[in-house]
Each structure stands twice: as structure tokens, then as C-alpha cells.
Structure 1
Amino acid sequence: MGGGEVPRGFPVPNPTISYWQFPPHPIANHRTTPSLPTTTTFDYIIIGSGVSGAAAAYKLLHRDPTLSILMLEARTAASAASGRNGGHCRAGRWLNFKEYADAFGEDEAIIMEHLEEQNVLDIANFVQEHDVQCDFQDVETSDTIYTEETWAELLERSVWHGQKARDHLGLPNVVGAVTYPAHTQNPYLLVCRMLELSLEKGLNMQTNTVALTVHPLPERHEGTAKWEVQTERGTVRGKQVVLATNAYTNVLHRGIADTGFLNPGRSQVTALRPENDLSGHPAQGKSFGIDRGAGDYLVIRAPGLRGAGDIVYGGGRAISPTREMGIMDDSTINPKIEKCLKQSGPEVFGRETWGEKSVEVRDWSGITCYTPDTLPLVGEVPSENGLWASVGMNGHGMAMAMAFRSAEALVTMMTTGKEPDWFPKAFRIERAWNKPKMDVPPEGASLGPVAVPR
């Protein structure tokens, strides 16, 4: 931002480079037009190029290719949490079903579970339909349990218990595990392909362009601009604005910030390569949610992929006194969490299996956004005609695939004025101005699978 210090709340320059972002995608620094189109009134201005913004643009243009859409991205394309997670695509929020049923009713909890399952299926179908080259793999994923107390709570839903779990997964210390079909992927390449498809349909994307303010224009005549977005490169106007800004939403909208409902935090991941070759190990071709009290998770890169055999291991936030909440600097990492993550891989697999040393591939962080009830805010901002948002993904926009389906709901609302029947009422944005029915601390929240609320 002009080369000076970045004000609190905006994306910082020069963030850590994630495992997935190397090498950078050809559209990383894309600007459709050399100058910011300040004389055009766009049908939609989308702020943010992560999975929420990319999916909204794709779905809008898929419905109506004649729409004019401008996308503003503060840094490079897909440079925030969507390009920084653990590489999961799995429906793992079933672990929270009881809490959601108690808070919102069983029918609503079932709707939320169905949304997530459909979400994963939608992404898989998108990848297949468009032949997206994003290392998309069908895998068996596992929620692995390390404490008898937690296992007792889940036992009626379990699949693998005791020694059978240890043998099936090759992890020596697990008490039990629940396994089910899922996927792994390079999330950065997936989102960049969504953006490419929209660019082919006429999207104007402006990277490295920080949106500074969003405010309504005083004159609101039908067919004319209703919203103005000021950037450091100029001011643009649109009929409608979509906030796909997740952790950076508060700085752009005072009303949302004043609710205190969106709480940013920093999450962290490491990529390691064991000293020993894990080819043939039972865990090969699987992904894991690791219930060891820190919201850990891991993915093993499959044979044939770049970095085959690498372990992408994330979590560790519970060892931070602040749980990394309120931190919005992803240009650095927490060294204590770094140490924890690098020790956890050998501990989970067992030193004999892992070997005495690790090859350290990459460490990175990302800024995620949490809500008191662990659910996103989706819809039109109350009393702000034409201002929409799909934010607060709780670290699970990609891993648990909430964002893609939430974007579908948002596009339906924007184009028809109605919520789809399958949209959970618990996701409605107006609840941020009301007292939530749940209040779950984000101790296990991360750039990966959800933890069971405590």
C-alpha cells in the first residue's frame, strides 16, 4: 500500500509462500486491463480471489456470460487461505453433528451435513468436468482418535477400534479411527483454474489491488452504480458488491466489525519428508484428522505427484497461549508451532517408521476467520441493498468445502432474490447482529479439518 506500513486488518505484503504456491501460477499477477477500469459501472464487484470469490464469479458467469464482473485482489491470485490449507477436500464436520443438533435442531443439522457432502461432490464434479489439473486424488480419510474420552463419545459411530485401527492405518498410538471416502488436492491450482475459466468468460481481474473502502453512493437510480469501492489505484463502481474477504472483512465493513462476530486468526502448516521411504505403508494414499488436542491434520502426497511422499502436516495452534487469534500477519510463522509440527510427524508415525531425521520442505502460515458458532455468514448484509458476503469459513472453506456450496447459495440469492431450499438457516448473515446459539472456542480451528467442539 504505497510502500508504507500496512494498516491493521489489511493483507500484509510478502506473505509466506505455501507448499502449493510454488511455482506461482501464470495468472498470479494477472491484470485483465493495465489500468483500473474506473469509468465502467460493473454488474458485480467481487473483492477477494479465494475459493469464495472465484466460485461466485464462475457461477455468475456460468448462468449469464453477459454480466460484467470486476474482481479485486489485494495480493496475488488465490494468495490467502484458499491457497494455504492442508490440501484436504472431505466432509468431516459430522463430528460436530450432536452440537449442531442441540443448538439448531436435528433437521437443521442434517441440512448442514448434506450441504457439506454435496459440496465435496460438487468440487469433484467440477474437477472432472473441466479436467482441472490440481493433483485431485480419491483417498480414504480418517479421523484418528488419541484419547479414550473422545473415543468413548464417538464409539457408536466408529469403524476401526484399538489394534485394528493401528494395523489399518499404520499409526502406532491411535485408540480408534473413523474412515470414509474423501479427496486430496492442490487447492491453489483448483482456485486458479476457476479464475481462468471466468477470465475466459470476460471476468476483469485486478491483482495487487487493495480495496480500501466500500460504501454506497448517495444516488441509487435503477440501472446505475449503487456502490463505490476505493482502491489505492483508483475508485471503481458497481451495481452490487460481493465481500469474499473472509478474515479481512472487518476492515472493510464497520457494521460487521462492530458485531464482533468475525474473529481472524493465524494458522500454520509444514511440509516434511521422512527419512525412511513410506511407500507401501498403510497410511499411503490417505489423509487424516489427528485428534491429539491441537487440531492437527496431515496429508501424504501420493506417488506420481510432485513431492510424492511429502507429509503436509498442520495444526498446533493449541500450544499458543492466544491460539494465534487476532494475528493477521502471514508473512511470518510461530517458531513454537513450527517446532511442534515438525515433532508431531515422527510422533504420529513412530520414530522407527519415520527415521531419525526429517527433510524440511517448507513452512507457511495463513489467516483464517472464525465465528462463535463455527458457521459462515452468507447473504445480503442487513439494510445494505446490493452488498453481499460469504465469509467466516472457520478454516474449513476448502478442507471441508463449505465455500463452494455457499457461493452457489449466494449466487442464487443475488440472481433470484430467494434462498435455495437446501441452504441452512443457521448460515444466514443476519445472525451476526443477534446472539448466536453456540459459542465454540476455535482451539482446534486451522487450515485443515474441524475439531470436535469442547
Structure 2
Amino acid sequence: MSTARPPESSSFPPSTPSSLPVPNPTSSFWLSDLSNVLRGHRTTPDLPQTADVVIIGTGITGASAARFLTSDPRFASLFPSASSASSFSANLSRHACVLQLEAREACSGATGRNGGHLQTPLLPTAREPAVGAFELRNYHAVTAYVAAHAVDCEFRALPACHTFWNADTVAAAKAARDELSRSAPELARLVHVVAADEGDGTDELRRMRVPDARGAAVVETAASLWPYKLVAAQLVRLVRGGSVNLQTNTPVERIERAGEGAAAGAGRRLRYALRTPRGSVRARHVLLATNAYTSALVPAFADLIVPVRGQMSALLPPPGAPRLDHSYGFLGARGQPGNFDDYLVQRPFSGRDPRGQLMFGGGRGANAKSPVGVSDDGEVDEKVAEYLRESLKVTMSLGGEDDGRALKDTHMWTGIMGYSRDAHPWVGSVPGEDGMWMAAGYTGHGMPNGTLCGKAAVELLLADEAGESAKATEERLVRDDGLPPSYLISEERIRRARLQPEIAAVSGLVSSARVPIASAAKNAHAWLTVLWSKADAAGTLGYSEELKKRKTTN
């Protein structure tokens, strides 16, 4: 495979491989209270020389993959070195059964920089209900883990209110709800559409504190949470239990094929050499939980998973403002193109830093330059920051005391999303690379996908180690675990993805950069329903019918 280093620049055309994570990222609120166990953690002072499995990345996908791998009943028999992992003997510095590598601090990438949502929009999946059902499985898997382990992550189940600000989008949402009723009635029961001009819609929108919206989709299966704390709880259990050797601040610069004769014992060949600034590690299996940064290590995916920078804020609510009872999405809100969304949750007025911050992100229409192909989360866009501070006082009925000024932020930061060329995550074996696995490309929608996508990648890895059929394992994942077939990596899927036309969209998300049609259309919360309108109200999309036709014929 290619051994070329990723570019030093962190802003590049989408067809160019991503850079590695920059060493000086902006300060995310979610990373303001790091675990003492994980801060700068290195299970062993030195980097192990060999490993059975290396997991690259420690976000929601990487943590979940490590958890499912080490707890699987087949794990110890397939990897005998696991039985001695908990001893932390001198040998552990030479060989790790499971080695987890992170370029910066643990969970400092997209999961530690996101909007704090865990939700299943459902309406965008009406034409592929397997996706909605899988995201619902993820929601319940996370909810169950939090409850089983009493994870202190500010988890709060509450309905999601996705607001619409023009008549075309409301009509598209209603059509999607009707189609979902036909394709997956069990999912349709979890969502209802409110229209301002129908029934008591105006009153309901007022109760949800969005009185000027034209409509909304209300989804019952949603929650807000502190994402870093969810992931940190999993990683702490893993390192304390001796299940993994975690090495933070250890970026993998490139992956090469290991030379002949490299063995991990019992005749198991070490296939790959991972180069880091601290030395090299030879591994039998490599699992990439690297999302937006995937092409830095697998350049062939440069046009399939493209970095896109998003921006978030932690805003102080007006004094005396009552707490919000929903999480929110704002599709085509004031000042935003019709195909862009903003998103909002509120922290509690208790616990650490009990100021009830409004965790508000989006503002893509205000970008001074295109965020597509940008993998630098070390700076913020001041135009977007201004929008985020001012927008909620216009869009919502926040209540409380209003001094006429913009809301004050305690934190303003950016994060890098991995946009998929065909708008679906990439899960499975990297073509042409035995023993290399991937779960990445969530298009800003990793929280309701990453947990079980990580598990699916692990299932394929274990089946490979056991000598089982990859095809049979994929069929089992689809049949028994609900993995959407469209998520699985194959040469045919790659070929079809590369047939999708690329377009130059006119807005803050895409300016002169050329990106795939599905990726440009799909925003952080997967509101593909906007494409179902015959014409976009903001005039920013001219390909709705073309995409709809292609989706029905492919």
C-alpha cells in the first residue's frame, strides 16, 4: 500500500488525502474536564513493538470497537496473548494484544467536538428504513450502556424538534412521513410532523419555543449528553481492566506492509508496520476508527471520505430563561440556506459548570471560506462565531432577561466531520488489504452509528481470524444485527460511488470546491428530505430531481 506521508497543509482539495490531526486544536467545552486516568495516558512507557490488533482512534467508534473486541467470547481463544495482558509484565512493553493509538488526547477528535446529540432523525431514512432501524439500535445500545454502568455523562432523554423554515421543506417532511408509514410503520410511530398552518400546529410550535417556524418534525428517540464522558467511561474501564494498551499523543504517520517473516507467535503473521514519531509497531490486524482523517493513512479513500469542518459554541442563556425541553435542529433557519441546518442542546443547571450552556452549532452559510477539505480544527471562523452568538435570540423564544446583546460564549471551537461520497458510512475490510478494517465516514452523524459500526468491524475481524467466510459474516451482520447493506465496503460500492456526479454548490458549505452530490446535500443531521422537494426554497440546490431519479434506479 502507499507509504506517502499526508500533506503538511490541513486545507486541500477534496481529492487530496487528509492531513493528520493538528497538534493545537481549539478548546472544546466537552474537553474541559478530562479524565485524570486518560490525560496523557500511556499504558506502558514505551510503545509496544508488536500487537495482534491495533485500533487507531479513540472516539465513539474506537472505544466501542475495543470494548466489543475484548469482551467477545471468541477473543481469548483467537488471540492467546490476551490471557496475559492483564499482568502488565515486562513483556507488555514488547507485545500488546490490543493496542489503541490516538494522535492527541483521548477522544479529542469529532466525538469530543460534536453537538452533544444522540438522535435518530428517521424521516430521511424513509426510502432506506434499514438505516433508521440501525440508528435506533445504536440509540438503544448507548442508552443501555449508560444505564448499566451508571455513566455520568449528563445523559438526558428528550424529544428532538427539527424545525423547518419554508413551506417546501414542510411539504417534503410530510411526504417523507407518509412514505415512512408505508416502508417502516414501526419507525413512523416515533415521529410526527407539525405544520404551522394545520390544526393546532401554531400552538405546538409556540410550546416548543419556535413560534416563527413553518413546521417541525418531532422525534421521540433522542437524547443529549456529554459525549467525551460517555467515551471516557468506556476507555477507563478498558485500561483499568488491562484489556487494551492505550497510547495517546502517538499519531500514526503511515501504514506499510510488514516484511516477510514478521510473526506474532503461533504462526500468525504480522501484516503491517505502523510508523509513529515514537517508533514503529508491527500488527496483524489494523482497525481504522479515524473518520475524517482516514485518507491520511489510506490515500485511496481521499475521494470517498472528505473532511468537512463544523463549528460549535457553548453559549450562556439569558438570565432567568427556563430550560429547554427538546433538542433542536434548524433546517434553513433565518440567514441559512435551505439545505443547511443548525443544532442545539442545553446543558443542565447542575453538576460541573452548572450554567445551563446552550450548546449550539452550525452556521455553515456564514462561512468566510469553504469548510470542505479542511482538516484543521485549530481555528474558528469568526463569521460563523458571530452568527452562532446572534442567531438563537432571533430564531427561538428563549425567555428570561433580554439586554439586546448577542449571547456570550464560554467556548467556541471547531471539529472535523468525515463526509462520505455516497452519504453512508464505510464499514468492513479495506479492499486489497488483508487484515485492515474500517468504520468511518459518518457525514456528521456518528453518534447514532459509531457504536454498532465499530462492533460490525470487530465481527468481521474476528471472523477473519477464525477463518470464517467474509460473505457469510456480512450476511449475518445484515440479518441479525441490522447493519444496512449500504454500509458495507465492496469494490462494487466504491465503483458506484465514484460514478456519482460531482457538483459545485453555491453556499457556505461548498464554494469553489467540487464535492459529490450526496455529500454536499447531506448535512450534519442527515436531513436528506430537503432533496425531496421539487425545488429548494433557498435556490441552492439544482439537482433534487436528478438525485431522486438516480436513487430509484440504482
CA deviations over 1:322-344 (Å, ceiling 9, x no partner): 54101111110011111111111
CA deviations over 1:404-426 (Å, ceiling 9, x no partner): 11111111111124121222121
Q: Which residue of 2 aligns with 1:246?
A: 291
1:346 aligns with 2:393: yes
CA distance in 1, matches of 2:169, 2:461: 42
Which residue type is aligned with residue 230 of structure 1? R
Contact 2:117 2:223 in 1 (8 A): yes
CA distance in 2, matches of 1:332, 1:80: 14
Q: Which residue of 1 aligns with 2:426?
A: 377
Of stretches 434-443 and 14-23 in structure 1, the one that deviates more from structure 2 is 434-443
Q: Which residue of 2 aligns with 1:147?
A: 166
Question: For residues 313 and 429 of structure 1, do their structure 2 counterparts lie closer, same or farther at Cα, with a shift above 3 Å needed?
Answer: same
Task: Report the alpha carbon displacement of residue 72 of structure 1 after superposing the two structures with TM.
Answer: 0.8
Of stretches 336-345 and 270-279 in structure 1, the one that deviates more from structure 2 is 270-279
CA distance in 2, matches of 1:442, 1:233: 38
Secondary structure, counterpart of 1:329 in structure 2: coil
Task: Report the alpha carbon displacement of residue 388 of structure 1 after superposing the two structures with TM.
Answer: 0.6
1:366 aligns with 2:415: yes
Which stretches in structure 2 are left out of the alignment for 5+ residues?
1-6, 11-18, 83-96, 178-191, 197-201, 464-469, 501-516, 532-554
Question: For residues 165 and 248 of structure 1, do their structure 2 counterparts lie closer, same or farther at Cα, with a shift above 3 Å needed?
Answer: same
Report the aligned-residue RMSD.
Answer: 2.1
Which of 194, 198, 205 is residue 160 of structure 1 equivalent to? Answer: 194
Task: Report the alpha carbon displacement of residue 308 of structure 1 after superposing the two structures with TM.
Answer: 4.1
Which residue type is aligned with residue 89 of structure 1? L
Which of 49, 66, 83 is residue 58 of structure 2 equivalent to? Answer: 49
1:61 aligns with 2:93: no
Alignment of 1:410-449 (within 5 A): 410-416=457-463, 417=470, 418-419=473-474, 420=477, 421=479, 422-430=482-490, 431=492, 433-436=494-497, 439-442=517-520, 445-446=523-524
Structure 1 stretches of 4+ moved >4 Å: 5-8, 350-354, 448-451
Contact 1:165 1:177 in 2 (8 A): no
1:262 aligns with 2:308: no
Secondary structure, counterpart of 1:369 in structure 2: strand
Question: For residues 336 and 443 of structure 1, do their structure 2 counterparts lie closer, same or farther at Cα, with a shift above 3 Å needed?
Answer: farther
Task: Report the alpha carbon displacement of residue 256 of structure 1 after superposing the two structures with TM.
Answer: 2.3
Task: Report the alpha carbon displacement of residue 444 of structure 1 after superposing the two structures with TM.
Answer: 5.8
Question: For residues 354 and 15 of structure 1, do their structure 2 counterparts lie closer, same or farther at Cα, with a shift above 3 Å needed?
Answer: farther
CA distance in 2, matches of 1:151, 1:228: 52
Contact 2:321 2:398 in 1 (8 A): no
CA distance in 2, matches of 1:380, 1:127: 30
Q: Which residue of 2 aligns with 1:104?
A: none
CA distance in 2, matches of 1:370, 1:227: 27
CA distance in 1, matches of 2:417, 2:131: 21
1:31 aligns with 2:42: yes
CA distance in 2, matches of 1:308, 1:352: 16
Alignment of 1:309-320 (within 5 A): 309-320=356-367
Secondary structure, counterpart of 1:249 in structure 2: helix
Bigger Rg, which one: 2
Which residue type is aligned with residue 442 of structure 1? A
1:76 aligns with 2:85: no
Which of 256, 261, 278 is residue 233 of structure 1 equivalent to? Answer: 278
CA distance in 2, matches of 1:373, 1:307: 41
Task: State the aligned residue count.
Answer: 430
Q: Which residue of 2 aligns with 1:89?
A: 118
CA distance in 1, matches of 2:456, 2:518: 25
Aligned-residue identity in percent: 30
CA distance in 2, matches of 1:195, 1:449: 28
Could you state the TM-score of these two structures normalised by the residue count of structure 2?
0.74
Of stretches 24-33 and 347-356 in structure 1, the one that deviates more from structure 2 is 347-356
Contact 2:124 2:526 in 1 (8 A): no
Which stretches in structure 1 are left out of the alignment for 5+ residues?
102-108
CA distance in 2, matches of 1:29, 1:348: 41
Which of 121, 125, 148 is residue 129 of structure 1 equivalent to? Answer: 148
CA distance in 2, matches of 1:95, 1:233: 47
CA distance in 2, matches of 1:351, 1:184: 18
Question: For residues 213 and 183 of structure 1, do their structure 2 counterparts lie closer, same or farther at Cα, with a shift above 3 Å needed?
Answer: same
Contact 1:297 1:449 in 2 (8 A): no
Contact 2:162 2:330 in 1 (8 A): yes
Which of 455, 471, 478 is residue 408 of structure 1 equivalent to? Answer: 455
Contact 1:261 1:432 in 2 (8 A): no
Q: Which residue of 2 aligns with 1:299?
A: 345
Task: Report the alpha carbon displacement of residue 164 of structure 1 after superposing the two structures with TM.
Answer: 2.6
Secondary structure, counterpart of 2:286 in structure 1: strand
1:213 aligns with 2:254: yes
Could you state the TM-score of these two structures normalised by the residue count of structure 1?
0.89
Task: Report the alpha carbon displacement of residue 205 of structure 1 after superposing the two structures with TM.
Answer: 0.6
Of stretches 245-254 and 302-311 in structure 1, the one that deviates more from structure 2 is 302-311
Contact 1:61 1:201 in 2 (8 A): no
Secondary structure, counterpart of 2:280 in structure 1: strand
Task: Report the alpha carbon displacement of residue 303 of structure 1 after superposing the two structures with TM.
Answer: 3.7
Which residue type is aligned with residue 433 of structure 1? I
